[in-house]
Amino acid sequence: MFPLIVAHVFVLIVVASVAFHFWSPWWWTEVASNWGGMDDTIILTF
Task: Report the residue number, 25 or 36, with the smaller CB distance to another protein.
Answer: 36
Indicate which single residue of 3, 22, 23, 26 sits in contact with another protein (rule: CB under 8 A). 3
Question: Rounded to 10 degrees, what is the CA torsion of 37, 42, 43, 46?
Answer: 160
- Confirm if 16 and 8 have CB atoms less than 8 A apart: no
Query: How far apart are alpha carbons 46 and 20 in whole angstroms?
Result: 13
If one asks whether residue 27 binds another protein (CB under 8 A), the answer comes out as: no
If one asks whether residue 6 binds another protein (CB under 8 A), the answer comes out as: yes
Q: What are the residues binding another protein (CB under 8 A)? A: 3-4, 6-8, 10-11, 14, 29-41, 44-45
